[in-house]
A = this chain, B = another copy of it.
Amino acid sequence: MDITRSPLARPFPHLPQIAGVTLRTARASYKDWDRCDLTFAELTDGTAVGGVFTKSACASSEVELGREQVILGSARALVVNAGNSNAFTGHRGREAVEQIMAQVAEGLRCQPSDVFVSSTGVIGVPLPKDKARAGVAAVLTAEPCNWEAAADAIATTDTFAKGAGASAMLGATRAELAGIIKGSGMIAPDMATMLGYIFTDATIAPAFLQEMLEAANRATFSCITVDGDTSTSDTVLAFATGKASNDLLSGWDDAGADAFYAALLEVCRELAQLVVRDGEGAQKFIAVSVSGAADDDSARRVGLSIANSPLVKTAIAGGDANWGRVVMAVGKAGEPADRDRLSIGFGGIWAARDGQPLADYDEAPVARHLEGQEITVEVDLGIGDGRATVWTCDLTHGYIAINADYRS
């Protein structure tokens, strides 16, 4: 398959070094390709971890184990396999994960439960243990690499490497954050074959790191969709090495907690949006802002109903200000709405207000907006104070070409 770089791609940013994190990659050759496909992050002793995972009822062994490991709160290593998701592979798949955990634990002299494993790629093929064993052995002694190399090595059908960084002042101490992510299809996070990893040198209690990550996830990764399909492997992990030596953050009232959360949110939002920018076949990046909903969760669900509607997504692909399709998507969301209070706009220009098209609606500026690459859709439900923004991409021939021509 010839994959060209998404027209919505962003250059890989400069990301800070995170003290206590060492990245390495190796070739496990999970597929017949000439690239690194095993990524390893060694984490200093005492690193705290938080994680959010797919809600799929058919989650992979990696996800099942990860959910248990996160509760323990500590991490020493991350291993990411690309090219094979190891999902739907029964006990053989689980054994392969446990083998990797044991092998890394032996190398680092840590507990197997401190070794987090993710896998992404084809479903239904057990991860080959021999390739994993040789790959892990190689990666443990490989030279350290930079963020972009790691972002490349976790990717599968992505068309560009994705990363984001931020910093936060925790009192007088500056903490750095860096994150990488992969994903472009099967994206509707309850989480998607979206694998994201965020690293920071801040000192944070695991329970509070988990709490902040869950909050950030609700506002970012859970607000994106490419195709409404949810993968069996979605995972976002946050690791805090504590090397910044700030006073421990253990709750929202601690000095610096708000600053750190703001930085975490910024990284998560950028990573989430980068996944949308690499949505399969995407030609336009679409932000759907919903206001006036019963509450914020309701606003998010209405936004996702719009963002998942094939009719809305194809209309925008065609540059068509078809607000009737937005009405349809609001109506089908199953959330409180009142047809006669509903207002809909594009690019900040209302097309319909209070349940009727505007008498003096001028489509020309809206049509110009829809010719661009960065589209906004505004919806006001007029019944409450709930609001949310969700992000998606348009639905194009490229999506069909990628997914109807792809053979597993």
List chain A positions with a Cβ less than 8 A from chain B.
54-59, 85, 87-90, 92, 122-125, 185-186, 188-192, 227-232, 308-311, 314-315, 317-318, 320-325, 327-340, 342, 352, 354-357, 394-397, 399-401, 403-408
Contacts of A320 in B (CB 8 A): 404, 406-408
Closest Cβ of chain B: how far from A124's Cβ, in Å? 5
| Residues of chain B within 8 A of A321, CB atoms compared | 408
Bound-state CA distance A231–B188 (Å) is: 23
Closest 10 A-B residue pairs measured CB to CB?
A: A123-B324, A56-B331, A58-B331, A318-B404, A314-B403, A230-B332, A57-B337, A90-B356, A314-B404, A317-B404
List chain B residues, Cβ under 8 A from A330.
Answer: 57-58
Query: Given the complex of chains A and B, what is the CA–CA distance between A369 and B384 in angstroms?
Result: 51
Q: Which of B58, B85, B231 contacts A339 (CB 8 A)?
A: B58
Copies in the complex: 2
Q: Could you say which of B337, B396, B405 contacts A58, with CB atoms under 8 Å apart?
A: B337
The distance in angstroms between the C-alpha atoms of A99 and B400, with both chains bound, is 45
Question: Is A57 a contact partner of B339 (Cβ separation < 8 A)?
Answer: yes
Query: Distance in Å from the Cβ of A59 to the closest Cβ of chain B?
Result: 7
Cα distance A395–B395 when bound, in Å? 12
Chain B residues, CB < 8 A from A354: 90
**Chain B residues with Cβ under 8 A from A407's Cβ?**
318, 320, 322
Asked if residues A124 and B357 are in contact (CB atoms below 8 Å), the reply is yes
C-alpha spacing A56/B90, complex, angstroms: 41
**A324, B404: Cβ atoms closer than 8 Å:** no
Of A89, A227, A339, the most chain B CB neighbours within 10 A belong to: A339
Asked if B403 and A315 make an inter-chain contact with CB atoms under 8 angstroms apart, the answer reads yes
Known: A57-B337, A311-B192, A356-B88. A396 touches B403 (CB 8 A): no
The CA-CA distance from A328 to B92 in the complex, in Å, is 19
Chain B residues, Cβ within 8 Å of A308? 228
Residue from the list B125, B191, B309, B323 in contact with A328, Cβ < 8 A: B191
Contacts of A315 in B (CB 8 A): 403-404, 406, 408
Closest to A394 in B: B404
CB distance from A92 to the nearest CB of B (A): 8
- In the assembled complex, the Cα of A327 lies from the Cα of B231 at a distance in Å of 9
Task: Name the CB-closest residue of B to A314.
Answer: B403
B404 engages A355 (CB within 8 Å): no
Whether B190 contacts A340 by the Cβ 8 Å rule is no
| A55, chain B: closest CB distance, angstroms | 8
A93 closest partner in B (C-beta): B356
| CB-defined A-B contacts under 8 Å, sample of 15 | A56-B331, A57-B337, A58-B331, A124-B324, A190-B324, A190-B325, A227-B310, A229-B309, A229-B329, A230-B331, A232-B328, A314-B404, A317-B404, A324-B408, A399-B400
Partner of A400, one of B54, B232, B395: B395
Extra inter-chain contacts (13) besides given A228-B308, A310-B403, A314-B404, CB under 8 Å = A55-B334, A57-B330, A57-B338, A87-B327, A88-B355, A88-B356, A89-B356, A90-B354, A124-B323, A185-B311, A228-B228, A232-B327, A318-B403
Complex CA gap A399/B401 in Å reads 12
Q: Is A124 a contact of B352 with CB atoms below 8 Å?
A: yes
Nearest CB in chain B: distance from A52 CB, A: 16
Q: Separation in Å of the A393 CB from the closest CB of chain B?
A: 13
Cβ contacts under 8 Å, A334 to chain B: 55, 57
Cα of A321 to Cα of B124 in the assembled complex, Å: 12
Give the complex CA separation of A333 and B229 in angstroms: 10
